[in-house]
Structure 1
Amino acid sequence: MPSERNSPFRPSSRQESLLPQWSRDQGVGGRGATDDLEGRNDERLEGLVGRVKMLKDLSYGIGKEVRDSAVQFTEMNDAFAETGGILTGTFHRLNKMAKRQGGNWCWFIMFLVFVFWIFVVTWWWRR
């Protein structure tokens, strides 16, 4: 059984100090220097904690944006697929109607366009 003094789970008083052994033995860097070092470490730690929090929030925001975009793209894909199905059905019905009808419909449409054109020209002339 290891002794309590040299236990790896319980550091000795020498290991607890932040200052090197020679500075404690010679009286260099008293309590003020230790407090100064701890103060600097605390300031740096606060800065690091702030940066880590900022990066964490940024990565969370990016993840949320990616998830929202994926949902939106899925909805757009579904909408485009539905629209494609509707347009395909419409073109099939138009082709079927065009095959059933003879060439007379073409002449009828051309006549209507001609009459409409004459109406527009006379309306423009009288204005």
Structure 2
Amino acid sequence: MSRLRPSVRERTPIPSPEPRGYRYVDDLEEQNDDALEGLSAKVNLLKNLTTGIGNEIKQGAVELAHMNDAFEETGGILSGTFRRMNTMASRQGCRWLWYIIFLVMVFWFFIVVWWLRR
């Protein structure tokens, strides 16, 4: 009956802990060395990955700082332009408002004609 149904010890893939001489010890050392090499490779991979992520974060922070400076400069230019436009509008009175209304109506007219001709 032992031939048909192997015992638990025979079914396990783990080698038995019973020493079989120097060959057994050498095999265990080789397995440990292989496992250690695999773990070292994984640690190095993770180290390189985290270093790369850190470099990307630093580069992104520098680019964001440059973009922030550019937006501040653009905001200064636009605020100056808006201030000059308000000064011009206050000098001309209400006439500029009529120009804007006229341009909106012309633009609306062209949109309606284009829509009907489609």
How would you bin the TM-score normalised by the shorter chain? 0.5 to 0.7
Identity of aligned residues (%): 49
Equivalent residue, structure 2, for 1:36: 27
CA distance in 2, matches of 1:111, 1:50: 71
For structure 1, the 5+ residue unaligned runs are 1-22
The alignment status of 1:92 with 2:83, answered yes or no, reads yes
CA distance in 2, matches of 1:116, 1:51: 68
- TM-score scaled by length of structure 2: 0.66
Alpha-carbon offset, residue 116 of structure 1 = 4.6
Larger Rg: 1
Equivalent residue, structure 2, for 1:76: 67
Alpha-carbon offset, residue 61 of structure 1 = 1.2
Equivalent residue, structure 1, for 2:14: none
Question: What is the aligned counterpart of 1:51 among 32, 38, 42?
Answer: 42
Equivalent residue, structure 2, for 1:16: none
For structure 2, the 5+ residue unaligned runs are 1-17
Equivalent residue, structure 1, for 2:4: none
Q: CA deviation digits over 1:59-112, x for unaligned, max 9? A: 1111111011101111111111111111110111011111111223444x2685
- TM-score scaled by length of structure 1: 0.62
Residues 41, 104 of structure 1: alpha-carbon distance in 2 compared, 3 angstrom cutoff: closer
Equivalent residue, structure 2, for 1:67: 58
Give aligned pairs, total.
96
After superposing on structure 2, the runs of 4+ consecutive aligned residues of structure 1 that deviate more than 6 Å are: none
Matches within 5 A, 1:85-124: 85-107=76-98, 109=99, 113=103, 116=106
Alpha-carbon offset, residue 30 of structure 1 = 1.7
CA distance in 1, matches of 2:33, 2:106: 85
